[in-house]
Amino acid sequence: MTHSSDIVVVDAGPFLARSSSRRAQAQALRQACRDCGFFYVNGHGVSETLLARLEAQSHAFFALPLEQKLALRMARGGRAWRGYFPIGGELTSGKPDQKEGIYFGAELADDHPKVAARTPLHGRNLFPDELPGFRETVLEYIDAATRVGHALMEGVALSLGLDESYFDARYTHDPLVLFRIFRYPPRIAEPDERWGVGEHTDYGLLTILLQDAVGGLQVKSPRGWIDAPPLPGTFICNIGDMLDRMTSGFYRSTPHRVRNPSGRARLSWPFFFDPGFDVQVRPIDPDAAIAEDKDERWDRASVHEFHGTYGDYILAKVSKVFPELRRHRDE
């Protein structure tokens, strides 16, 4: 097993500040996206105070009795697909994950046009009344991570030789943002092959992941599976299926998985910065030859054969992860 030096560190500061050094960092992004599709990010501007509050609030949430967490179960979230699921309640590659978690998104009132139109994955979040400050902390973090997402996608555009506004103008001016808090229980005593999360790729454009100190994330690189441990002061980011599709496979969405080998619980906070729900996702260069990897992918599915909106794509994927929520697609 190799170590985190296989994954480069990119400074997000120049993208956030739009400084003259951002083009040099864009080249580092290009190398990372071509090499393994993962990179660490420092200089992101999210305060340590907010991150500490988020971790403390997350520990407090998972310490609640199960019945209080189940009061926020995802079935209550309806079409918005928000809320809590217990261990084994989410399936990756058709197998129950060894984690529990709670789903959030942009907080939208009932009179928001997309909510009023009954657009899936849009609406209000479910928050625990028992934890003062939890709601405010989560929403503040979503806002902060969204700013980082916009800045990094400007960097990705520059890394591809495009105008920095390319993705904002076409896909992410009104992005679909999804935020999760996951808890992986301590390693069970008996040996088995159960994973916290099995091998998979992410669906959208960019994932911004905050990890606690426990570790357990593994990335599939050209040299095999490598560890991607937490580095203090950083997020770890990866590109998803839609960026793979847009670049005709020049940037690949990278398989990854999680196992918690420690004797203590692991927390992680993945934030997904994705295209708008209603946008058609198309190749940047429609004449480019497609670097197809269907036979090598974990799901044996091609991201390049798909036609439709990003909403169509993610609904088809998420309904496999949460089979009991499929009925909400057609309500």
User: For 26-81, how does the pLDDT look when each residue is reduced to its tens digit (9 = 90+)?
Assistant: 999 999 999 889 999 999 999 999 999 999 999 999 999 999 999 999 989 888 98
Query: Is residue 145, in this structure, part of any structural domain at all?
Result: yes
Q: Is the pLDDT of residue 223 over 60?
A: yes
Q: What pLDDT, on a 0 to 100 scale, did the predictor assign at position 168? A: 98
**Parent domain of 117:** 4-325
Query: Is residue 121, in this structure, part of any structural domain at all?
Result: yes
Query: Is residue 331, in this structure, part of any structural domain at all?
Result: no
Q: Is the pLDDT of residue 294 over 70?
A: no
* pTM of the predicted model as reported, rounded to 2 decimal places: 0.92
Query: Is residue 52, in this structure, part of any structural domain at all?
Result: yes
Q: What pLDDT, on a 0 to 100 scale, did the predictor assign at position 72? A: 97
Specify the DSSP element, H or E, that contains 149: helix 134-159
Tokens representing residue 248 in the block: 């005709």
Query: Is residue 197, in this structure, part of any structural domain at all?
Result: yes
**What is the per-residue burial (b if ≥16 Cβ within 10 Å, else e) of 77-92?**
bbbbbbbbbeeebbeb
Average model confidence (pLDDT) across the chain? 89
CATH code of the domain covering residue 118: 2.60.120.330
Contacts 24+ apart (CB under 8 A), 109-117: 114/277, 115/80
Query: Is residue 129, in this structure, part of any structural domain at all?
Result: yes
Question: Both ends of the chain: CA-CA distance in Å?
Answer: 47
Q: Are 164 and 158 in contact (CB under 8 A)?
A: yes
Query: Is residue 294, in this structure, part of any structural domain at all?
Result: yes
Q: How many Cβ atoms from other residues are within 10 Å of residue 105's Cβ? A: 21
Query: Is residue 247, in this structure, part of any structural domain at all?
Result: yes
Q: Is the pLDDT of residue 91 over 50?
A: yes
Number of domains comprising the chain:
1
